[in-house]
Chain A
Amino acid sequence: MELNDFKQRNIAPGYIFFEGEKAPENGWQAFKKVVKRSLKGELFVGLWIVFREMIRFDIHTIQYPAEKYEMSPRYRAIHRLLRLFESGSERCIGCGLCEKICISNCIRMDTHIDEKSRKVVSEYSINFGRCIFCGYCAEVCPELAIVHGVEYENASEQRAHFGLKADMLTPLDTFKAKEQKEFPGFGALSDNADEAVKQTPLAY
C-alpha cells in the first residue's frame, strides 16, 4: 500500500466511482438518449419491484400497542435496582461508585450505618432529566445492583417518576413471585461463571 491509499479514508476498498452519464452534446445525441430511455423499459422494472414486494407480503410493520419490539438485553433504558436472589435484600452496598462515575451528575444516594453496623442505602435517586443513559453506572457497579432495564415506554405525568429508589427497586412481591430476572447485559456473569471460579490462592 502506498501512502496515498492511507490518505484516502472516506471510501472502502473496492469502491466503484460512477461519474454519471455524459450530457448530450448535440441534438442528435439528446434525441438518441430520449429514445433509449423511452424504449428500454426501465419504468417496468420499477413496477415489477413494487408488485413483487406486494406479492411476497413481507410486512415489516409492528402493530405497536399490540406488538412490541423485543429489546436487546444491552438496550439501555430506565435503570433497575436488583435484589439478591438468596436473601431478597438489596444488592446495593452503597459504595457510591455509580455516583462518582456518573458523567452527568444525576445519581444521588444517602447511606447510613444500621444497628447491625452495616452500611445501607436509605435513598437512591436518578434525575432522568439529566441522565444520558451512557451505562457507566451499570458498568461500574461491583454488585450488579444497578442495571439498565428494557422498559422504553416512559410517558408519565411527573418528571420525577421512574427515578426514585422505590420505582427502580424490584418490589418484594415481584421478587417473591420469582419474577426478578437476572440482568443478561453488559457486566453480567457469563453462563459458565461457576466453572470459572477458582479457589483463592492462599499458598503464598
Chain B
Amino acid sequence: MFETAVLVETIVKAVIVVSVVAGMAGFATFIERKVLAFMQRRLGPMNVGPYGLLQLAADGIKLFTKEDIVPQNAVKPIFMIAPVIAAVTAFVAMAAVPYFPEFTLFGYVIHPIISDINVALLYVMGVASVGIYGPLLAGMSSSNKWSLLGAARAVVQMLSFEVVSGLSVLAPIMLIGSLSLIDINDYQVGGISHWLIWKQPLAFVLFAMAGFMETNRAPFDTIEFEAEVVAGYATEYSGMRWGLFFIGEYANMITISVLVSIIFMGGYNPIWFIPGALAMLLKVSLWVFLFLWVRAAWPHIRPDQLMWVCWKVLMPLAVVNILITGFVLI
C-alpha cells in the first residue's frame, strides 16, 4: 500500500515538473524575445494576441506542423534520437532538484522534489553533461559541415566547462559536507547573511560562468553561433525535432537557475517577510532574466578564447579556491 502511494506521488510529481517546466520553457522564448526587443528599443512580437502573447501558440503550431526533414546522407536513427536526448536529459536532471519548501496539502505533507537522493548535485551535473550528447550526436549524424563544426565545438566546450563547474562547486560542498541539495539549502537557513555567496564568492562566479557555458547561452554560445556556423549542430533540423533542442536549452537554463539559487543564494529559505516559495521563484526569475540580459549586452567569444579562459584562468582559480577553503576548514 505504502509502495503504491509513493509510486503514484512520484509519477504525479514527475508529470507536474515536466509539464510546468516545458510550459515555462515555451513561455521563456516569448519572454526572451520581448526582453531582447526592449533592450534594443524594439517592441518584439505584437500582432498575435494582446501584446503578442499568443505568438507562443503560433510558434507551437508552426513547429508541430512543419515537415520533418531527414537529410539524405544523415545517419537516420542517430539523427532522429539526438534531439530526444537533449530534451530528456534536461528534464531528467530536474528529478533531484527541490523547488519549494515542503508544504501540506489535504493533510498530506508534500516534498516538492521528485527524489531526494544523497548525491543530488553530482547526479544533476552528471545528467546535464550527458545532455551534451544531444548536440554531439546531432552534429555528427547530420552530414553537414556546419553541424560537424558545431559538434566539435560542443565537445571542446564540454571538456572545458565541466572541469570548472565541477571544481568550483567542490568548495561549497566541502563547507557543507553533503551533496544533497536539500542539505545545501538547509545549510543557508537564516537570511541573506547566511547565503553561501558571501562565503564562496569566487566559486559563485565560476559556477555561474560554467552555467552559461553549459546552457550554450551568450557569451558562450559558440556551438550554434549563426555568424560562424549557421545554426551549428541544429542546422539540418526542422519542425519539432528542432523544437526539442530548443525546449532542452530552456529547460537547462531553468535547471541552472534553480541550482545557482539553491547552492549560492539561499535556496527556498524565507527572506524577511517573503515566504520561501516566492523567494525561490524570484531568484529563479532573476537568473533567467540575467541569461537574457547578458545575451542582449555582451558579444560572444571564440572557441579558442573559451578554452583559454577555462583552462588557464578559471580552472586555476577554482583550484586555488578549493585550497583556500581547505586551509580555512582545517
Contact = CB atoms under 8 A, between A and B. Distances in A.
A54 B38 contact: yes
**Range, interface on chain B:** 10 to 19
Given A34-B313, A43-B298, A50 B39 contact: yes
B242 interface: no
Contacts, number: 38
Contact of B41 (A46, A47, A53): A53
Interface of B is mostly: helix
A58 interface: yes
Contact of A51 (B39, B41, B42, B43): B39
B22 interface: no
Contact of B43 (A34, A50, A59): A59
A49 B35 CA distance: 14
A60 B38 CA distance: 10
Nearest to A49: B297
A2 B46 CA distance: 58
Interface in B39-65: 39-43, 46
A61 interface: yes
Interface in A57-104: 57-61, 63
Interface residues of A, number: 15
Nearest to B43: A61
Interface string B65-96: 00000000000000000000000000000000
A47 B297 contact: yes
Contacts of A34: 313
B231 to A, nearest CB: 24
Contacts of A51: 39, 293
B39 A46 contact: no
B281 interface: no
B296 interface: yes
Contact of B297 (A50, A57, A58, A60): A50
Interface string B1-44: 00000000000000000000000000000000001001111110
